[in-house]
Chains A and B, each alone.
Chain A
C-alpha cells in the first residue's frame, strides 16, 4: 500500500465508525504514512500485557487511555508519565482504567497506549486549521508557554514549500532555543522543516482533515519525533 492509500484507509475507517476525531494511534499512523517520525507504541488490553509491552519499548514509558469518548485525556486523569518499571506500568494501567470509568461510565475503551518516553529535545508544536479566507493553514510554535502565553507562532498557507518551512521556523522569537544557546546543543532544524512540509502534504492530499494538533513534538539533536497527535476531520 502506498502513502496515499494508507492514509485514505485510516480516514475511511474513522468515517465508517462515525468518528470525526481520530484515535491517537490512528493519528500517528496517518502521520507516519507521510514519513513523519512518531513515538513507537503499542495498545495493551491488560495490566500484564502493558508491562510486557513496556519492557519491549524500553523504560521509561508513558501510558494513556485509548477511547473515542475521552478526548481530553489529562483532564480525565488518564495519562501517566515516567513509568520506570513493570510494576509501575501495571499499577498505572489499573489506575487509568478506573479513572476512565469514573470519568465516563459509558465510554468505549480500546485499551491503554504505551510508548517510550522521549526526553532531551526541544518541545515544539505544529498545528493545522481551516481559515475562512485562506483555507488550510499550518501553524508552528515552541511548546508550552511560548504558544499559550507569548503567542509566539508563525502561520503559512498550505501548500508549505521547503523555503516557507524554513522561514516559519526562523521567524519565531524563540528560534535561538533551536539553534542552541546557553550550552544547549543545536537541534535538527532540517528534520523539523521536513516535518512541516510533510504535514502540509498530508493536509493538501486529504481535504477532510480540518484540524491537527501535533503537541508536543520533540526536536532532537538528530531527528524530530511526534509524541502526541490530535486530528479532527470536517463534519
Chain B
C-alpha cells in the first residue's frame, strides 16, 4: 500500500480530533452513546459534538456545524438521516476532513434511490479527498487509541494481535465480545457496512503492514472484486494468517445477504478455491474462528511455529485422547509412535505407564510418581522426542484442578515444543484455574476435536505459506 494511502487510513484508527455530527444529549440516542463511548474508552484526542440545538453534550462544547470548529478535524462520524447528508457532506469537504464514518442506514440497502444517494456522497468525498466507511455500520474500534464503536456493549480492554474486518457490525461485535471471554485480544476492528468507498480488501492491504496486527479475521458476505482479493490476499497471507468466515453459503443465507449489503455472493465452491489459492483459511463458524485464532496467537506467535505435523498426545482419560488422535488424522496431522528413547524413559520413570501415542495416565502408575505431576513427567520426556513436533494435553480432570493448572504453567515455562491444553469445563474451581491459564496465554480448548482442528489449521497455514513462497519465486 502506498504511504499516502496508508496515512489516510491511519486517520480512522488514530484520529487526533473527532467530530460527531448528530451527537445528542439524549441518553437513548445513538448520538449520545457514541460520545459517551469515546469518553469511556479513554480516547485522548479532541471531541467535537455537532448539533445545532445543543450548547453542550457530556461536558463538551457543541457546534452548529463542522465549519464552526476552530481546529482541524481528522475524522467525522455521521449519525444523520440520509436526506440531510448532501449538505452536511459539502461542509465537511469544505473543512478538509480526510476520513468519515457513515453510521446511519438508509442507503444502497434500501433500493434504487438509496444507491444513487450513496454514490453521490462517494463521488463528493472522493473529489474532496475524504475516505469513507459505511454507510450502515458500527464504525471502528481501536483499543490502542481508545477509538470506540457505536455499540452499547462493553469494550475489549486489552490490546492484542487480532484484527477483525466485518461486513456485519453486529456479527463482528458479537465475535469480539465472545473472543474476549476466550482470552483473545484485538488490535483493530472495522465494521465496513455497505462498503461504499474503502473496501474489505483495502483494509486487508492496510493490515499487512500494521505492526500491531498478527492475524486477520474477516466476517464476509462477499467480495466485490475477486481478482483484487487474490492480488492483495496472497502477499498478506505470506506474512500473517488470514481467516475468513464466509456466510451466505446456502440459498437461504444468500437471499439474506443480497438484501443485507447488496453484494454478490458467488458459489461457495469457487470462494473455497480462491481462499486456498490465496492461502486464506476458511472457518466453519465463529467458534472455529476463535479456536484457530487462539492457536495462532498463543502457539504460532506465542510458543513458536510447530516444526511439523506430528502430535504427541498426553491424555488424562484414555477416550478423549483417542478422540484427539482421530481428529488429528482427519485434519492432516500425524500421531506417530514415540521414539525408542521416549519409550525407554517412560518405562523407567513411570513403571506401568502406557508408552504408545496417545499415552494416558492411569491411577496405578500415578501412585509411582511420589508426588510428581504425571503430566509434567511425561511432558519432559516427550519434549525431547525427535519424532514429535507438538504436544496436546487432553482432559486435565476436576479432582485437583489447582495441581493441573500448576503443571501446565510449569510445562509452559520449561518445555520447548509448542503445546495446547484441552480442558472441558467441570465446575467453578476448574473454571477459575482455566481463567488463570487464559491470562497466562496458555492455548486452551474445550474439546479434543476442536483442539486437534486448531493444530491442523496451523500446519495447513504453514504449508500454504511455503506454497506461496514457492509461487512468488517463479
Q: Is B372 an interface residue (CB 8 A)?
A: no
Residue of B with least CB distance to A171? B276
A157 and B277 contacting across the interface, CB-CB below 8 Å: yes
- CA–CA, A132 and B265, complex, Å: 9
Residue of A with least CB distance to B276? A167
Among B224, B229, B264, B270, the residue within 8 A (CB) of A137 is B270
Q: How many Å from the CB of B227 to the closest CB on chain A?
A: 6
- CA–CA, A164 and B275, complex, Å: 11
A residues 119-157 with Cβ under 8 Å of B?
131-135, 137, 151, 153-157
A residues 141-181 with Cβ under 8 Å of B?
151, 153-157, 161-164, 167-168, 171
Among A132, A133, A135, A156, the residue within 8 A (CB) of B277 is A156
- CA–CA, A171 and B275, complex, Å: 13
For the complex, would chain B's binding face be called helix, strand, loop or mixed by DSSP majority? Answer: helix
Interface residues of A, count at CB 8 A = 19
A135 and B270 contacting across the interface, CB-CB below 8 Å: no
B266 and A157 contacting across the interface, CB-CB below 8 Å: no
Given contacts A153-B269, A154-B273, A157-B277, contact A133 B467 (CB under 8 A): no
A131 and B467 contacting across the interface, CB-CB below 8 Å: no
A163 and B270 contacting across the interface, CB-CB below 8 Å: no
Residue of A with least CB distance to B263? A133
- CA–CA, A131 and B264, complex, Å: 10
A132 and B274 contacting across the interface, CB-CB below 8 Å: no
B residues 252-286 with Cβ under 8 Å of A?
264-267, 269-274, 276-277
A134 and B269 contacting across the interface, CB-CB below 8 Å: no
Residue of A with least CB distance to B269? A155
B266 and A134 contacting across the interface, CB-CB below 8 Å: yes
- CA–CA, A135 and B230, complex, Å: 12
- Chain A residues with CB under 8 Å of B229's CB are 134
A157 and B274 contacting across the interface, CB-CB below 8 Å: yes
B277 and A131 contacting across the interface, CB-CB below 8 Å: no
- Chain B residues with CB under 8 Å of A157's CB are 226-227, 230, 270, 273-274, 277
- Chain B residues with CB under 8 Å of A154's CB are 273
- CA–CA, A135 and B226, complex, Å: 7
- Chain A residues with CB under 8 Å of B474's CB are 161-162
Given contacts A132-B266, A133-B223, A163-B467, contact A155 B230 (CB under 8 A): no
Q: Is B172 an interface residue (CB 8 A)?
A: no
- CA–CA, A154 and B267, complex, Å: 12
B226 and A131 contacting across the interface, CB-CB below 8 Å: yes
Given contacts A133-B266, A161-B471, contact A155 B226 (CB under 8 A): no
- By CB atoms of chain A within 10 A, which of B224, B225, B229, B267 has the most? B267
- CA–CA, A167 and B471, complex, Å: 13
Q: How many Å from the CB of A168 to the closest CB on chain B?
A: 7
Q: Is B4 an interface residue (CB 8 A)?
A: no
- CA–CA, A5 and B271, complex, Å: 33
- Chain B residues with CB under 8 Å of A167's CB are 276, 467
- Chain B residues with CB under 8 Å of A135's CB are 226-227
Q: Is B193 an interface residue (CB 8 A)?
A: no
A168 and B273 contacting across the interface, CB-CB below 8 Å: yes
A133-B271, A137-B270 provided; 17 other pairs, C-beta below 8 A?
Answer: A131-B266, A131-B267, A131-B270, A133-B224, A133-B264, A133-B270, A134-B230, A134-B266, A157-B226, A157-B230, A157-B270, A157-B274, A161-B474, A163-B467, A164-B471, A167-B467, A168-B273
Subset of 28 A-B contacts with CB under 8 Å: A131-B226, A131-B266, A131-B270, A132-B264, A132-B266, A133-B222, A133-B264, A133-B266, A133-B270, A133-B271, A134-B226, A134-B230, A134-B266, A134-B274, A135-B226, A135-B227, A137-B270, A153-B269, A155-B272, A155-B273, A156-B277, A157-B277, A161-B474, A163-B470, A163-B471, A164-B277, A164-B471, A171-B276
Chain A residues with CB under 8 Å of chain B are: 131-135, 137, 151, 153-157, 161-164, 167-168, 171
Q: What are the 9 tightest A-B residue pairs by CB atom distance, in nearest-first order? A: A134-B226, A155-B273, A133-B266, A133-B226, A156-B273, A155-B270, A163-B467, A131-B270, A132-B264
